[in-house]
Structure 1
Amino acid sequence: MGQSQTSRMGPPWSQESSPGEGLPTEWRRQWTRSRRVLLAVLICGLLLGSSVLWVYIFRNCGPRPCKTRVCLDLLAHYLASGNRSVDPCTDFFSFVCAKANGTSNSVQTLTDKNKSQLWKLLETPRSWHLRSGEEKAFQFYNSCMDTDTIESAGAGPLQQVIEELGGWNISGNWTSLDFNRTLRLLMSQYGHFPFFRAYLRPHLAPPHTPVIQIDQPEFDILLQKEQEQKIYAQILREQLTYLNRLGTLLGGNPQKVQQHAAWFIYFTSRLFQFLRPLEQQEAQDKLFHVVTINELQEMAPAIDWLSCLQATFTPMSLNPNQTLVVRDLDYLRNMSQLVEEELLTNRDMIQSYMILGLVDTLSPALDSKFREARRELRQKLRELKERPPLPAYPRWMKCVEDTGTFFEPTLAALFVQEAFGPSIQSAAMELFAEIKDAVIIRLKNLSWISEETLKEALNKLTKLQVEMGAPKQDLKPELAKEEYSDIQLGPNFLQSFLSCSRSLQGRNVRHFLQPFPSHRWTGSPWGVKAYYSVSDHVVVFPAGLLQPPFFHPGYPRAVNFGAAGSIMAHELLRIFYQLLLPGGCPACDTHVLQEALLCLERHYAAFSLPKMAPFNGSHTLLENAGDIGGLAIAFQAYSKRIAEHSGEMTLPTLDLSPYQLFFQSYAQVMCGESSSQNPQDIYSPPSLRVHGPLSNTPAFAKHFRCPHGTLLNPSARCKLW
Structure 2
Amino acid sequence: MSETPTQLELSVPSSSQPEVERGFQPILTTQDPPETHQQTQLQLEIQLSGSNPEHQRRAKPLWIKHRRLLLPFLGFSLCAVFLGLTYYVHQNLRNRSNIQRVTACVSPACQQASARLSTSADPFTQPCDYFLFTCGSDRLSQPENGGRQRGQGIPGHPQNQNGKSVWSERRRQSKEREDRGLRQEKILDRKTVLLQYLREILESNYSVGSSAVQKAKGFYHSCVDTRSIESAGAEPFLTLIQRLGGWAVSGQWNQTDFNSTLSLLMRDYATFPFFNLYVGKDPNEIAHGTAKRYIQIDQPELLIPIEWNSKTHKSQAKAQTLRSFLATCQRYLALLGAPPSSSMIHVGMFLSLSSELAVAAAPLQYRLSKQQLYQRMTIKELQSQAPAIDWLGCLRAAFHPLPLIEDDHVLLHNLPYMVQMSPIIRKWLNRHELSNSGPLQTYMFLNLLHTLMPALDSRFSETANNLSVALGNTEGVVPRWKHCVLETERGFDSVLTYLLSERMAQREAEEIIQNIFSSFKSKLHELKWTDQKSLLSVMKKVHSLIPRLWTTREISSEAELDLLFSKVSLSTHSFFSNYVQLLSLWQKRRRKILTEQTEAADILSVTPLIQGNELLFPMGMFVPPLFHPTYPRAMNYGVMGFLIAKDILHLLLPDIYSQSETVHAVGECVWAHYLTVTEKAGRGGAFSLSAAQRQEVWVQYSALQIALQAYHQSLKKHPGDTSISGFSHTHLFLSSFSQVNCDFDPYHEFMPLEPSFLITVICAKSHLCPTNLQCPDKTEQHSLQTC
Q: Could you say which TM-score interval applies, normalised by the shorter chain?
A: 0.7 to 0.9
In 1, are the aligned partners of 2:633 and 2:722 still within 8 Å (CA)? yes
In 1, are the aligned partners of 2:274 and 2:300 still within 8 Å (CA)? yes
Q: TM-score, normalised by structure 1?
A: 0.74
2:631 counterpart of 1:541: no
Q: Helix, strand or coil: the match of 1:685?
A: helix
Matches of 1:298 and 1:621 in 2, distance apart? 55
- Judging changes above 3 Å, is the alpha-carbon distance between structure 1 residues 624 and 217 closer, same or farther for their aligned structure 2 residues? farther
In 2, are the aligned partners of 1:242 and 1:373 still within 8 Å (CA)? no
- Judging changes above 3 Å, is the alpha-carbon distance between structure 1 residues 279 and 294 closer, same or farther for their aligned structure 2 residues? same
Matches for 1:288-299 after TM superposition, within 5 Å = 288-299=374-385
Matches of 2:257 and 2:631 in 1, distance apart? 63
2:191 counterpart of 1:120: no
The structure 1 residue matched to 2:631, chosen from 531, 555, 560, is 555
Partner residue, 1:352: 442
Deviation for aligned residue 1:80? 4.5
Matches for 1:38-437 after TM superposition, within 5 Å = 38-62=76-100, 64=102, 66=104, 68=106, 69-80=108-119, 87-88=129-130, 91=133, 99-100=179-180, 102=183, 104-106=186-188, 107=190, 109-121=192-204, 123-125=205-207, 127-128=208-209, 130-131=210-211, 133-134=212-213, 136-137=215-216, 140-141=219-220, 144=223, 153-204=232-283, 205=286, 206-219=289-302, 239-261=325-347, 263-265=349-351, 267-268=353-354, 271-345=357-431, 348-366=438-456, 368=457, 371-375=458-462, 377-378=464-465, 381-382=468-469, 385=472, 387=474, 389-390=476-477, 392-394=479-481, 398-417=483-502, 419-420=503-504, 424-437=505-518
Matches for 1:568-647 after TM superposition, within 5 Å = 568-572=644-648, 576=652, 580=655, 593=659, 630-642=703-715, 645-647=718-720
Matches of 1:233 and 1:538 in 2, distance apart? 50
Partner residue, 2:577: 495
Greater displacement, 205-214 / 161-170: 161-170
Partner residue, 1:612: none
Deviation for aligned residue 1:187? 1.5
What letter corresponds to residue 405 of structure 1 in structure 2?
R
Q: Helix, strand or coil: the match of 1:320?
A: coil
Matches of 1:315 and 1:386 in 2, distance apart? 41
Matches of 2:522 and 2:223 in 1, distance apart? 52
Matches of 2:757 and 2:439 in 1, distance apart? 58
2:548 counterpart of 1:466: yes
Deviation for aligned residue 1:181? 2.4
Greater displacement, 251-260 / 681-690: 681-690
Q: Helix, strand or coil: the match of 2:480?
A: coil
Matches of 2:240 and 2:773 in 1, distance apart? 67
Deviation for aligned residue 1:569? 3.3
Greater displacement, 426-435 / 599-608: 599-608
Task: Figure out how many residues of one structure are paired with residues of the other and give that number.
Answer: 642
CA-atom RMSD in angstroms: 4.8
In 2, are the aligned partners of 1:695 and 1:714 still within 8 Å (CA)? no
Q: Deviations over 1:574-594 (max 9, x none)?
A: 77458x59xxxxxxxxx9727
Q: Helix, strand or coil: the match of 2:659?
A: helix
- Judging changes above 3 Å, is the alpha-carbon distance between structure 1 residues 483 and 427 closer, same or farther for their aligned structure 2 residues? same
Partner residue, 2:163: none
Q: Helix, strand or coil: the match of 1:474?
A: coil
Q: Deviations over 1:365-412 (max 9, x none)?
A: 23x3xx333145426745874847436425xx5555444432333343
What letter corresponds to residue 623 of structure 2 in structure 1?
Q
Identical positions, percent: 25
Deviation for aligned residue 1:429? 1.9
Structure 2: runs of 5 or more not aligned? 1-58, 136-147, 152-174, 310-316, 676-689
Matches of 2:715 and 2:322 in 1, distance apart? 60
- Judging changes above 3 Å, is the alpha-carbon distance between structure 1 residues 23 and 713 closer, same or farther for their aligned structure 2 residues? closer
What letter corresponds to residue 332 of structure 2 in structure 1?
L
Q: Helix, strand or coil: the match of 2:407?
A: coil
In 2, are the aligned partners of 1:62 and 1:648 still within 8 Å (CA)? no
Deviation for aligned residue 1:320? 3.0
In 2, are the aligned partners of 1:670 and 1:689 still within 8 Å (CA)? no
Greater displacement, 108-117 / 59-68: 59-68
Matches of 2:409 and 2:260 in 1, distance apart? 23
Matches of 1:365 and 1:215 in 2, distance apart? 26
Higher relative contact order (CA 8 A, sep 6+): 2
Deviation for aligned residue 1:154? 4.0
In 2, are the aligned partners of 1:315 and 1:510 still within 8 Å (CA)? no
Q: Deviations over 1:646-684 (max 9, x none)?
A: 43555428xx764464355445445467xxxxxxx9433
In 2, are the aligned partners of 1:80 and 1:99 still within 8 Å (CA)? no
In 2, are the aligned partners of 1:145 and 1:399 still within 8 Å (CA)? yes
Matches of 2:632 and 2:489 in 1, distance apart? 32
2:554 counterpart of 1:481: no
Matches for 1:691-710 after TM superposition, within 5 Å = 691=755, 699=762, 702=765, 705=773
Structure 1: runs of 5 or more not aligned? 1-20, 582-590, 609-616, 674-680
Q: Deviations over 1:518-547 (max 9, x none)?
A: x411x22xx4613324247351321x4312
Matches for 1:428-467 after TM superposition, within 5 Å = 428-443=509-524, 447=529, 448=531, 450=533, 453=537, 456-457=540-541, 459-461=543-545, 464=546, 466-467=548-549
The structure 1 residue matched to 2:641, chosen from 562, 565, 580, is 565
Greater displacement, 492-501 / 190-199: 492-501
Deviation for aligned residue 1:502? 1.6
